[in-house]
Chain A
Amino acid sequence: MEPQAMRAGRSGQFTRLVAKDLSLQWRNREALYVVGLFSLLVVLVFAFAYGPEFVPPGLGRAARHGELAKLGAAIFWSALAFGAVIALHRSGEADREFGAMGAIRLAGVSPTAIYFSRIVSIFIILTAIEAALLPAVIVFLQVESMTAMDVARMAGVAALGTCGVSTIGAFVSTMTASARGKESLLSVVLLPLVVPLLIAATKVSVDVFASRPISDWRWFSLLVAYPMLTAGVGLALFDSLLEE
């Protein structure tokens, strides 16, 4: 028997955890601004270094769009990867600082709810960064061939890629949270693990930026499978990660 008439359903606990993560991030939004600005800076630096002028003038319209699409996809995902590492350093910091994660565990919240709440809050934060990044890539690289449908397709691809970064990022950032030198350890562990995802996301994004159908469905399959695989592994191991 539990004391009083208490019952916080799993969905209620999950919602509270996500709301808590987001409100804490919002209170420290200066750090989010830094992440957003850093990602935009990456886009700007690449855009001005290798921007539209980089494309040889003799190319036809389709070939020119193809070159810009390659550049746009590469820059978008590089900027997001760097931004994600910084954002992941930040996420969960409040849980660690005074040991509040211990109180969450003692409240009987399931590891599944904790893991998924972290995935969702990281996903929302990264999506906010992407919302600034994508227009910047389109404008500064002058990928003007993109239609509204292409932008919607790119949003879908970005959502899949972000989902993958969130599932692996929530796990790795929790794993490295209490380790010595956690800042460098997170990058060292996370970046090799997201390489397959980034390659797949970039390959698919090239087609979307170039306004053409997806040419190789194997990359798209990897983009879909990656979040499911990493979430499955994360779910299986998250309990032992949280406990001693």
Chain B
Amino acid sequence: MALLAAESVSKELDGRLVLRDASVELHPGRCLALFGANGSGKSTLLRILATLWRPTRGEVTWDGKPVSRVRATYRRQLGYVGHESLLYGDRSARENLLFFGGLYGVPDLERRADVLLDEVGLTRFADIPVRAYSRGMTQRATLARALVHSPRLLLLDEPFTGLDAAMRAAALKRLRMSCDEGVAVCLVTHDLESGYEAATDVAFVRRGRVEPSAATSLEELRSEYSGEGR
């Protein structure tokens, strides 16, 4: 059984149907990469999976139960990276991690924060307010925030944005490590190389529908992707 499943989910925004009967399943230890043109509905789907938006129609289930019924429990087990950092600009990365980790009741929190700051390469900048960070540094702090409570599910919307090559490689390594630990991952990205490298499954979001990709290599994926948005 899928850990998380969206069945025939639709979403209407300002009178426009952004998602149309989209279905997707996420399994422990697997990483689903979702590609698609701008406005195809990828981020909308991720926000619905994260319970930040409600679907107009359809249902999302967690361990077979509708997430609307187990919302608080479900939310505490997911890590989400979206377009916004969901951080406090006046607080440093360390303070943000300590605050959010505290809300989750993470044990040995100080140590956990140090480990994550080291993993995302922010140890030297850990005590600087997030407001003073560059785009890439903010993205690293955002990734650390999403991982602070060791979630069972990761929903990542463009997680590689602003990261340099070394950090991108580190983020990919961390994603693979999470998958190896049994975490289910859903990744939305325009970065074909990184997405393909991280993914165990690949799909496209086309006009609000999720369609599995037929690509068996990066070249085939590039060719399939080049036809998107036309």
Give Cα distance in the complex from A94 to B53, angstroms: 21
**Would you call B136 an interface residue if the criterion is a C-beta within 8 Å of the partner chain's C-beta atoms?**
no
Give Cα distance in the complex from A13 to B105, angstroms: 9
B87 pairs with A98, CB closer than 8 A: yes
**Would you call A59 an interface residue if the criterion is a C-beta within 8 Å of the partner chain's C-beta atoms?**
no
- Bitwise, A88-107 to B at CB < 8 A (1) or not (0) is 00000010011110111111
Q: Which of B75, B90, B150 contacts A107 (CB 8 A)?
A: B75
Give every chain B residue within 8 A of A28 (Cβ-Cβ): 90
Shortest distance from the beta carbon of B167 to any chain A beta carbon, whole Å? 20
Give every chain A residue within 8 A of B71 (Cβ-Cβ): 108
Give Cα distance in the complex from A59 to B54, angstroms: 67
Give every chain A residue within 8 A of B218 (Cβ-Cβ): none
Smallest Cβ-Cβ distance to A95: which chain B residue: B88
**Would you call A243 an interface residue if the criterion is a C-beta within 8 Å of the partner chain's C-beta atoms?**
yes
Give Cα distance in the complex from A3 to B78, angstroms: 10
**Would you call A184 an interface residue if the criterion is a C-beta within 8 Å of the partner chain's C-beta atoms?**
no
Give every chain A residue within 8 A of B105 (Cβ-Cβ): 6-9, 12
Contacts between chains A and B (CB distance < 8 A), count: 97
Total interface residues in chain A, CB < 8 Å: 31
**Considering the complex, which residues of chain B in the window 94-114 have a beta carbon less than 8 Å from any beta carbon of chain A?**
99-100, 102-107
A98 pairs with B89, CB closer than 8 A: yes
**Would you call B151 an interface residue if the criterion is a C-beta within 8 Å of the partner chain's C-beta atoms?**
yes
Main secondary structure of the interface of B (DSSP, over half): loop
**Would you call A221 an interface residue if the criterion is a C-beta within 8 Å of the partner chain's C-beta atoms?**
no
Q: Which of B52, B77, B86, B145 contacts A3 (CB 8 A)?
A: B77
| Given A3-B150, A3-B152, A13-B103; A99-B85 close (CB under 8 Å) | yes
Shortest distance from the beta carbon of B221 to any chain A beta carbon, whole Å? 31
Give every chain A residue within 8 A of B100 (Cβ-Cβ): 103, 107
| Given A103-B145, A110-B72; A2-B99 close (CB under 8 Å) | no
**Considering the complex, which residues of chain A in the window 1-53 have a beta carbon less than 8 Å from any beta carbon of chain B?**
2-9, 12-13, 16, 20, 24, 27-28
Shortest distance from the beta carbon of B2 to any chain A beta carbon, whole Å? 17
B102 pairs with A106, CB closer than 8 A: no
| Given A3-B150, A8-B105; A106-B89 close (CB under 8 Å) | no
B99 pairs with A20, CB closer than 8 A: yes
A102 pairs with B88, CB closer than 8 A: no
Q: Which of A13, A24, A99, A243 contacts B86 (CB 8 A)?
A: A99
Binding site for B on A (CB under 8 A): 2-9, 12-13, 16, 20, 24, 27-28, 94, 97-100, 102-110, 243-244
A-B contact pairs, 25 of them (CB 8 A): A2-B73, A2-B77, A3-B77, A6-B106, A6-B107, A6-B149, A12-B102, A16-B103, A20-B88, A98-B86, A98-B89, A98-B130, A100-B86, A102-B80, A102-B82, A102-B84, A103-B80, A104-B103, A106-B76, A106-B86, A107-B75, A107-B104, A107-B149, A108-B103, A244-B53
